[in-house]
Amino acid sequence: MKSAALLLALATLGAASARAVDYKSQIAPIFRTKCYECHHTSKKVKGDVDLADDKMPENIGAGKHIIPNEPKKSTMLIYCTLPDDDEDVMPPKGKNRLTAAELKLLETWITEGASLAAGGSAPAPTATAPAAGGPQKWTSSDGKVIEAAFVRLEGENVVLTVTATGVTHLVPLTRLSPESQAQAKAAK
Ligand code: HEC
């Protein structure tokens, strides 16, 4: 049965996305300890970049410092990997640098779509990007979360491309949580 297979696919992918880097518990603490003094708590935030949680959506998206799924094009990550003596290195002058493990987390988080959603259950900020087809979080009716890009609505189904696999699925709306159904209907 087609829909049963899709449900299985959703459930399996939900399990895989549980390994995703979590913004709140893994990324925000890095910014707090290594960047906030100049990019949030300072009188005037440097470079017009505020890394506070509620300001993060302004840093994410096409043409911004964090480009979801594109770590190699994300200046936020690039600046943190420059040599100590590069004038653009962040934090400046190579002081209090990010460790290799922190850089890896940041890279993985961006690769996974730079979602700010805690535990991945709320829609990612990229959900507001018009027609960009960026990845969003989707919750199945039984609570499993996947990250996928909206493609189109097809009758009572939504077509989604799953970020982790690149595979496109036709998912009956009834298989999604009410919030995700609304998200699908609002997407264009
Ligand atoms: C000691 C202060 C300081 C710390 C700590 C610091 N920065 Fe910066 N940052 C600056 C300054 C000053 C600028 C503006 C540089 C400029 O405009 O030339 C800047 C600019 C930036 C920019 C924008 C650059 C541009 O081209 O617009 C990004 C992105 C950035 N910082 C990321 C970070 C990250 C991520 C961290 C933590 C890992 C961090 N910074 C830590 C001082 C700091």
pLDDT in tens, 12-56: 554 444 447 899 999 999 999 999 999 999 889 999 999 999 999
The pLDDT of 143-158, averaged and rounded, is 87
Range of the domain at 37: 23-114
pLDDT score of 64: 95
Pocket lining: 90 vs ligand 1, CB cutoff 6 Å: yes
Do 35 and 90 form a contact (C-beta atoms < 8 A)?
yes
Residue 113 predicted with pLDDT over 70: yes
Lowest mean pLDDT among 72-81, 115-124, 128-137, 140-149: 115-124
Pocket lining: 65 vs ligand 1, CB cutoff 6 Å: yes
Nearest CA to ligand 1 atom 37: 35
Any residues with CB less than 8 A from the CB of 14 and at least 6 apart, and which? 140, 144, 145, 146
Q: How far is CA 116 from the centre of its chain?
A: 6
Going from the Cα of 140 to the center of ligand 1, the distance in angstroms, rounded, reads 39
Q: Which of 96, 114, 132 is the last residue of a domain?
A: 114
pTM of the complete model = 0.64
Which ligand 1 atom minimizes the distance to the CA of 75? Answer: 29
**pLDDT per position as a tens digit, 56-96:** 999 999 999 999 999 999 999 999 999 999 999 999 998 89
Q: Do 56 and 138 have their domain in common?
A: no
Q: Which of 114, 140, 166 is the last residue of a domain?
A: 114
